[in-house]
Amino acid sequence: MSGLPPRPSPQSAPDPAAATGPQPSRAPGTAAADEPGAPRAIPVARPVKGPDGSRPRFSSDQIGFLERAAAEYGDIFRFRLFGMPVIVLNNPDHIHQVLVGNRHKYDKEVLLYKLVRPVLRNGLITNPGGELYMRQRRMMQPAFRPAVVARFADGMTDETNSMLDRWRDRYRPGQVADLSAEFSELTLHIVTRTLFSAQVGETARRFAEAFTETNDILGRFFRFPFPPLSVPTPAHRRLRRAIRRMDDCVSAFIERSSTPANAADSAVPDAGAGKPGHGIDLLHLLMNAVDEEDGGGMDFEQLHHEVLNIVVGAYETTTNAMAWAFQVLAERPDIEARLHEEIDTVLDGRPPGMDDLRRTPYARRVVEETLRMYSPAWQFMRRAREEDMLGGHRIPAGSNIYINSYILHRRPEYWEDPDVFDPDRFTPERSKDRNRHAYMPFGAGERICIGQHFALVELQLVLLAIAQRYRFTLPPGQPPVRPRPLTTLHPGGGVHLEVRPRSGATGGTPPAHDGHDGHGDGGEGQDGRPGPEPDTDPRSAS
């Protein structure tokens, strides 16, 4: 989860970065003072004229403003974001320093996360950092290890094939489907099934309903975050009721899981995780998580917070990535044809499983390129807890730092033809000379997305399963789909495509593998990732 709200206030917060001295707008690299070694000034970004003569402002065109400012000012600039001074970083090494090298100097005590803390409370996403955060992350990390995620893979394929089976009755060949809506439902099914085991019954359905309502109200709040969530407007009261309903569902799952028959399997959290029939799911793993430092576990209140944070983190991000991927495939039949060829050769009609991920490198590259061009969690923030130096610029304590992966992933200094969708840019040969910090769809450092393996496995399996059985074309006269910068980066207006079953394609309906077939650790690469090119991963987790 990430994203920045448009904000009606505050009036004019002081700008710590302005304390460096007078800050005229100037090109990057211009020194603030004449003495050698003096900190270089951070230029103030003003709306920059583009080739079409317009001067986009952040308030009306966030992407346009940032793209032009990055082109004009380069690695670093500052501006007022609805009255709040922020420093924007566009240089991969500076960003790496903030998120990884000097991470102890930064935290998440910034407006963006404070706004939603009444809802997401102290879960991983909104936790500002510090002891409680570290303890939670330590306890939760094992449940997201690639080996554990691998055991949820069959459920992912299974849910996707159930959706495709429904499509047979729902869509005539060539009929337009609202894929954004389809994928919202699919991702929610996948995450609730993973959390609450394969027996997703009435309680899981009620949880999903309450979550959808929460997400809708939060989405509207982010577009106009006033009044604060603590003010009991009718919408905010509905939000609180929806959260209570979710908490009640989680309590019911916990209670069910704690009955002796169900609890038996959880004694060793890793044993049999996710295997059908074992009743082990993500919730079990978190309930039984133990902190290696103090030997304690997670209290139930905190568990409620974490469940909500996981679903929030997993829902819109993955939905949007899927929607973007199929929009691009419909626009680029050449890429779709290569993907089909790979799928047909490797799968030969059977449903995809964990072992197929490493055998389908082109599918993997389509996922990676989708996450580059349409990075769903496209912006995030930090606060400088103490002073730092970035590339010769002084970052005063208290500064708000703004990082935008959409802009970073399209900087021409690091990406050739950045606006072209080209999965082959992720081949080992073409990746090896690239700055490895120039790609960070999942963030970096200790707060890197805990669900990144989950998301990569899910996206690749869903891509394989759907493209095995369906192809997609653009409805005639459809205008281009542009990114809509909301909390996550949506395809504006949603993705609506003509769906056609692929002739002779099989792969449907049969249940996914039984999970006992030795897929075990999921064919991970050296770094534990499922992909075939482990040593060329441009992502940075450390």
Footprint of ligand HEM (CB under 6 A)? 2, 124-125, 137, 309-310, 313-314, 317-318, 321, 376-377, 380, 441-443, 447, 449-451, 454-455
Q: CA-to-CA distance for 64 and 55, rounded, in angstroms? A: 8
Please report how close the Cβ of residue 218 comes to ligand HEM at its closest, in angstroms. 15
Q: Which two tokens stand for residue 316?
A: 């819109």
Please report how close the Cβ of residue 264 comes to ligand HEM at its closest, in angstroms. 26
CA distances 101 to 93, 119, 142, Å, are 10, 31, 23
Q: CA-to-CA distance for 420 and 415, rounded, in angstroms? A: 10
Q: Of all residues in this chain, which one has the CB nearest to ligand HEM in the complex?
A: 451
| CA terminus-to-terminus distance, the chain | 20
Whichever of 269 and 443 has its CB closer to ligand HEM, that residue is 443
CA distances 376 to 3, 97, 128, 485, 540, Å, are 9, 22, 22, 9, 17
Please report how close the Cβ of residue 344 comes to ligand HEM at its closest, in angstroms. 26
Whichever of 32 and 188 has its CB closer to ligand HEM, that residue is 188
Please report how close the Cβ of residue 488 comes to ligand HEM at its closest, in angstroms. 8
Sheet holding 496-501, edge to edge: 176-178, 496-501, 470-473
Please report how close the Cβ of residue 151 comes to ligand HEM at its closest, in angstroms. 14
Contacts of 99 (CB under 8 A, 6+ apart): 106, 382, 403, 440, 443, 444, 445, 447, 448
Q: CA-to-CA distance for 274 and 150, rounded, in angstroms? A: 9
Q: Beta strands 76-81 and 84-89: pairing type?
A: antiparallel
Please report how close the Cβ of residue 380 comes to ligand HEM at its closest, in angstroms. 4
Please report how close the Cβ of residue 373 comes to ligand HEM at its closest, in angstroms. 12
Whichever of 20 and 360 has its CB closer to ligand HEM, that residue is 360
Whichever of 188 and 455 has its CB closer to ligand HEM, that residue is 455
Whichever of 125 and 357 has its CB closer to ligand HEM, that residue is 125
**249 assigned binding-site residue:** no
**Whether the Cβ atoms of residue 189 and residue 159 lie closer than 8 Å to each other:** yes
Whichever of 20 and 327 has its CB closer to ligand HEM, that residue is 327
H-type helices in 85-230, by residue range? 92-96, 111-120, 131-140, 146-149, 153-170, 179-196, 202-223
Q: Which two tokens stand for residue 462?
A: 């869903």
Four-point Cα dihedral 26, 27, 33, 34, nearest 10: -130
DSSP string over 65-96: HHHHHHHHHTTEEEEEETTEEEEEE--HHHHH
Whichever of 351 and 443 has its CB closer to ligand HEM, that residue is 443
Please report how close the Cβ of residue 452 comes to ligand HEM at its closest, in angstroms. 6
Whichever of 312 and 499 has its CB closer to ligand HEM, that residue is 312
Q: Write out the binding residues for heme.
A: 449
